[in-house]
Chain A
Amino acid sequence: GESVGLHLPTLSVQEGDNSIINCAYSNSASDYFIWYKQESGKGPQFIIDIRSNMDKRQGQRVTVLLNKTVKHLSLQIAATQPGDSAVYFCADTTTSGGSYIPTFGRGTSLIVHP
């Protein structure tokens, strides 16, 4: 079946380093991708999104790269801070019944060491 997955369950970095979180998807019909951040005890929060007609999108300290050829998505966080410590989820989105339905990966835990 279709799935979204993450290569690494845990990523440890030093404060100030750049972080890269990877994600693979298998649904070639997906046309919209989202990254979420989830802090302990809270709901997922939207970080950045990208449509399938783009290969790169930048936000504040974050960049998402999309490689449709190999069905790969990555989230880059520049100058990682302790406040970035959280679980990060990628999601690919398909359309069903007029609604966008995201399918989430299992998540990567980012640990930032001061």
Chain B
Amino acid sequence: NAGVTQTPKFQVLKTGQSMTLQCAQDMNHNSMYWYRQDPGMGLRLIYYSASEGTTDKGEVPNGYNVSRLNKREFSLRLESAAPSQTSVYFCASSGGDSHSGNTIYFGEGSWLTVV
């Protein structure tokens, strides 16, 4: 049972380059999330998708775009990477409502360095 799978695990980018972080879940969850984690800052929500076809901004959306490709997949794109986007990125998913459960399950993280 894979759960939440995100790729790549490590990436180094030059300032101004673009890249997409991929995420897929096999739990038939409705909701998916992208968080970033910086030292001493905890987890901060970038974007989330309550269901297939919808996306909404979280606490720190600037510099990012997302696509909910289908129910399984939710990608995060950096159009023009900046050093301030150096962070660990976590994708997560949950059933999304009180009936199917709202426990959030996380992927293993993607370490991104922008130089």
Given contacts A43-B108, A100-B31, A100-B94, contact A93 B102 (CB under 8 A): yes
Cβ A89 vs Cβ B103 within 8 A? no
Cβ B41 vs Cβ A32 within 8 A? no
* A contact residues around B103 at 8 Å (CB): 34, 46, 49
Q: How many angstroms between the C-alpha atoms of A44 and B106 in the bound complex?
A: 6
List the B residue with the shortest CB-CB distance to A49: B103
List the B residue with the shortest CB-CB distance to A6: B42
Cβ A97 vs Cβ B56 within 8 A? yes
* B contact residues around A41 at 8 Å (CB): 109
Q: How many angstroms between the C-alpha atoms of A101 and B31 in the bound complex?
A: 10
Cβ A98 vs Cβ B50 within 8 A? yes
For chain A, which range describes its interface: under 10, 10 to 19, 20 to 34, or 35 or more residues?
20 to 34
Among candidates A42, A99, A105, A106, residue contacting B48 with C-beta atoms closer than 8 Å: A99
Cβ A34 vs Cβ B104 within 8 A? yes
Q: How many angstroms between the C-alpha atoms of A89 and B96 in the bound complex?
A: 20
The verdict on A96 contacting chain B, using a C-beta distance below 8 Å, is: yes
* A contact residues around B51 at 8 Å (CB): 98-99
| Chain A: minimal CB distance from B49 (Å) | 8
Cβ B108 vs Cβ A42 within 8 A? yes
Given contacts A42-B109, A44-B43, contact A102 B97 (CB under 8 A): no
Q: How many angstroms between the C-alpha atoms of A96 and B94 in the bound complex?
A: 14
A residues 77-114 touching B (CB-CB < 8 Å):
89, 93, 96-107
Which of A41, A44, A99 counts the most B-chain CB atoms under 10 A from its CB? A99
Q: How many angstroms between the C-alpha atoms of A8 and B50 in the bound complex?
A: 33
The verdict on B90 contacting chain A, using a C-beta distance below 8 Å, is: yes
B residues lining the A interface (CB < 8 Å): 4, 30-31, 35, 40-45, 48-51, 54, 56, 58, 90, 92, 94, 96-97, 102-109
Known: A49-B103, A100-B97. 8 other contacts (CB 8 A): A43-B109, A93-B102, A96-B56, A97-B54, A98-B96, A99-B51, A99-B97, A100-B31
